[in-house]
Amino acid sequence: MDVPMRVPEPTDVVSPARFAHIVLYTKKFQEMVDWYCHFLGASVTGASQGLAFLTYDDEHHRIAIIETPDYKDREPNTIGMAHFAYSYDTLGDMVHQYERLKGAGVMPARTINHGPTTSMYYRDPDENAVEIQVDNFPSVEALNEWFATGVFNRNPIGHTFDFEEIVERHKAGEAEAVLLHPREGENAKLMSANDK
């Protein structure tokens, strides 16, 4: 299937108001609770009998973690969820998150400029992939103009890059629009879908 990317116009279908939460099964209950509280700056809103609810905003829970000691371990390279993602409003917010996590020894497994977003992928204690991202374009119109160039369809995964370089350039005062611009060229490593 080859469909050019474009953010669609709104329809009259009543869609969900927001994404509510995810639920994770684990054999590493306390480690997972601690990791997500630190990673997201979340708090435990309630916990009982191997079940914990966490949130980072005014929702009663954004993540539920359930202890499942008798479940089978997930095998690597099997079908299922690839990752879930959280968006930040600015590159500065994401730089802050990166440096806060780095200070605790939590480093991204991969950094990719996807075109629409600049993203970092982390691994939780159960090896679930968790993405944090920031939008690369200031508006849907600007994003759709970029999609219309066909660059995304030629490379829908994006390019890896060194986030430390972005941090240094951001601290030096370089404009976020420049730092977030989709990367192309000989120095950018082309990604495949399986690398994501």
Amino acid of residue 16: P
CA angle (81 as vertex; 119, 131 as ends), nearest 5: 15
Q: What is the pLDDT of residues 23-81, one digit of tens each?
A: 999 999 999 999 999 999 999 999 999 999 999 999 999 999 999 999 999 888 888 88
For a pLDDT cut of 90, what percent of the chain falls above it?
Answer: 75
> With the C-alpha atoms ordered 32, 35, 39, 40, is the resulting torsion angle positive or negative?
positive
Q: What is the pTM of this model?
A: 0.88
Give the residue with greater pLDDT, 22 vs 4.
Answer: 22
CA atoms within 13 A on the CB side of 7: 11
Q: What is the pLDDT of residues 118-156, one digit of tens each?
A: 999 999 999 999 999 999 999 999 999 999 999 999 899
pLDDT bin (cut points 50, 70, 90) of residue 172 is very high
111-125 burial: b if 16+ Cβ within 10 Å, else e: bbbbbbbbbbbbbbb
Every domain range in the chain assigned CATH 3.30.720.110: 82-196
Every domain range in the chain assigned CATH 3.10.180.10: 20-73
* DSSP label of 91: H
pLDDT bin (cut points 50, 70, 90) of residue 159 is very high
**Predicted local confidence at residue 184, as pLDDT:** 64
CA angle (33 as vertex; 29, 38 as ends), nearest 5: 150
* Residue 169 pLDDT > 90: yes
**Predicted local confidence at residue 190, as pLDDT:** 43
Q: What is the pLDDT of residues 68-104, one digit of tens each?
A: 999 999 888 888 889 999 999 999 999 999 999 999 9
Structural fold of domain 82-196: 3.30.720
CB atoms within 10 A of CB 101: 17
Let me know: does 53 contact 44? Beta carbons within 8 Å: yes
| CATH for 20-73, options being 3.40.50.2300, 3.10.180.10, 2.30.29.30, 3.30.70.2190 | 3.10.180.10
